[in-house]
Structure 1
Amino acid sequence: MQSKSSTENPNISRFAAQPSARAERPRKSKLVLFGRQWDLQLMVLPALVFLFVFSYIPLYGLLTAFQDYDMFKGFFASPWVGFKHFRIFFESPEFGEVLSNTIWISVLKLLVCFPAPIVLALMLNEVKNMYFKRIVQTISYLPHFFSWVIVAGFVSSMLAVDNGSLNMALEKLNLIDEPINFLSLPEYFWTILISANVWKEIGFASIVYLAAIAGVDPTLYEAAAMDGASRFKQVFLVTLPSIRPIIIIFMILAVGNILNAGFEDILLLAISPTLAEVANVVDTYVYRVGFKNSRYSYATAVGLLKSVINLGLLIAANAIARRKGSSLW
């Protein structure tokens, strides 16, 4: 029986005994591959050196979070205090206010500033007049290149009590009887802050989404149109599902920065003392206690705590996104 089978299929035993080409192929070590790509590695080397010198070496300063740091004694002579500064922050009367403001502003930015560039990209994708489209893109991109000093000055001028364009417009429309000092009233600050962020970044942030939309297969739109889908429905049936991986990746990064409520924008817009209760976030708190009060160890501890929480949120968001098939790693 066996001899008959071997006679009918003489190549079976030889094929089974023959190792696969993949198994015979010697495994290239990473060191050999690195040597063969030495020219490419050399091109990357300056960026790695820059990153190491300016991003990793300064991490040594995190030791001050566990010390009562004295700049005259240095890192090695300053006394170690363990988690003292973390405990002081948790027991601080400002802890609740700082955490609450940070979370609320971050969530508002996530809910408003994150989808805004996606909506703009979808709208620009539907514009057929290329001349008009380029004008809109240029106008929307331009604010990104303004510093927050310029943006804050522009917002302050527009909302000024005397000759502010918004107050003048509201008075012309008989919506108000007297000018409103918007930049000194806490109830308006978050709206002003979020609006300024959207205006500044919406155009530049939409570039990535426009590039992703441009890469969508046109035959998908043709198939959807043949099935009776309107242009509006095609956005939800074709465009958004096609760019979902990009959206998920940026969402992961946004969640990982949830405690980065802002610094320059808040510091420059919250110039009135009456806004302290709504503008006191982690970054401005660290700036105040660290640079103005010279409590370097305490400020480092608060900043380190924020970074650890952000890292945990980033890992959690990436783990959830991995189940959907899109993740950072």
Structure 2
Amino acid sequence: MNKTQRAGMLLLIFPFVALVFVFNYLPLFGWSYAFVDYSPGVPLIEQHFVGFKYFRIIFEGGNDFAIVMRNTLVMSLLGLLTSPLPMIFAIALAEVRGKWLSKWIQTVTAIPHFISWVLVYAIFFTFFSLEDGVVNKLLMDMGLIETGTNILGSDGYAWFFQLMVATWKGTGWGAIIYLAAIAGIDQELYQAADIDGAGRFQKIWYITVPSLMPTYFVLLLLAISGILSNGFEQYYVFQNPLNIDKLEVLDTYIYTLGIARAEYAFSTAIGVFKSIVSIVLLLSANWLSKAIRKQSII
């Protein structure tokens, strides 16, 4: 490749580098607000510097941070426990005899991924609301319960219900990458297994699953690195005064502090803490991947 070609390639990637810089690196300048007592309208250079005051507040208690971290970690860990579901679903789809049926199921199960969380809430409100919910009406008509159960407004069901919603919305979409990996498996392995008399389940267990494990581990390690970033929209739309003690996660807490309460410095400090922990988790997951699988993910 000559100099002209190299210059052309650099010119092609320049817009993307500029976008990354503007939207990913330039906003890091805002981290400086975590170290000052921010007053609107006052230039940053004139703000009162307080050092690590707000970081100390995070760990000293006297706020909701401990509850928020508990909710964030519980929901993320539940998500990690259900992370094999897309792989299992993809294997099941690949084993469906009728290709048209497999494609139809794949399409139907992937559609929820494209539905906004506001519409998802409306759908589940229709089914699970206390007075007019389809599920409560059906159970009362069958005589199984006397009064409706307030699933959407109960903190006792909050974690399980959010896990169910996230699984419904993400399993079909998450299976796509595993279906692509299954399509890339050498078919001669299955032919050799047929010659050796291997059954359907044996081929899945000894060929398909081992072939998918590298993909699964990469996705799992990336999920571990993002354990503090379990989403905003899902929890925000399902929050209400009855379940907020279980559904206030780190992303919604930062939004509440920064936008609703105008505690800009404290919310920025929490955001910085979240980013640093995420970077540490990513590097740790990468080190673990190299130690166990001899492969790096970054």
State TM-score, norm by structure 2.
Answer: 0.94
Q: Deviations over 1:120-151 (max 9, x none)?
A: 11111111212111111111111111111111
Q: 1:68 to 1:117 in 2, by over 3 A?
A: same
Structure 2 alignment gaps of length 5 or more: none
Q: Which residue of 2 aligns with 1:102?
A: 72
Q: How many residues of Structure 1 are paired with residues of Structure 2 in the alignment?
A: 296
Q: Which residue of 1 aligns with 2:59?
A: 90
Matched, 1:138 2:110: no
Q: Alignment partner of 1:183: what SS?
A: coil
Q: Which residue of 2 aligns with 1:304?
A: 272
Counterpart Cα distance in 1 of 2:3 and 2:15? 16
1:310 alignment partner AA: S
CA contact (8 A) 2:224 2:281 kept: yes
Deviation at 1:292, TM superposition (A): 0.9
CA contact (8 A) 1:161 1:181 kept: yes
Counterpart Cα distance in 2 of 1:73 and 1:188? 45
Q: Alignment partner of 2:38: what SS?
A: coil
2:19 alignment partner AA: F
Q: Which moved more, 1:96-105 or 1:298-307?
A: 96-105
Q: Which residue of 2 aligns with 1:72?
A: 41
CA contact (8 A) 1:34 1:41 kept: no
Q: Which residue of 1 aligns with 2:262?
A: 294
CA contact (8 A) 2:72 2:249 kept: yes
Q: Alignment partner of 2:189: what SS?
A: helix
CA contact (8 A) 1:99 1:281 kept: yes
In our comparison, the structure showing a higher alpha carbon Rg is 1
Counterpart Cα distance in 1 of 2:91 and 2:140? 35
CA contact (8 A) 1:143 1:200 kept: yes
Q: Alignment partner of 1:37: what SS?
A: helix
CA contact (8 A) 1:105 1:190 kept: yes
Q: Which residue of 2 aligns with 1:158?
A: 127
Match of residue 117, structure 1, among 73, 83, 86: 86
Matched, 1:127 2:96: yes
Structure 1 alignment gaps of length 5 or more: 1-31
Q: Which residue of 1 aligns with 2:242?
A: 274
Superposed, which structure 2 residues align to 1:168-187 within 5 Å? 168-187=137-156
Deviation at 1:300, TM superposition (A): 0.5
Q: Which moved more, 1:182-191 or 1:168-177?
A: 168-177
Match of residue 165, structure 2, among 184, 193, 196: 196
Q: Deviations over 1:174-194 (max 9, x none)?
A: 322211111111111111111
- Taking only the aligned residue pairs, the percentage that are identical comes to 35
Deviation at 1:237, TM superposition (A): 0.8
Q: Which residue of 2 aligns with 1:207?
A: 176
Deviation at 1:35, TM superposition (A): 4.9
CA contact (8 A) 1:144 1:200 kept: yes
Counterpart Cα distance in 2 of 1:284 and 1:219? 50
CA contact (8 A) 1:249 1:326 kept: no
Deviation at 1:33, TM superposition (A): 6.5
State TM-score, norm by structure 1.
Answer: 0.85
Deviation at 1:169, TM superposition (A): 2.8
CA contact (8 A) 1:161 1:179 kept: yes
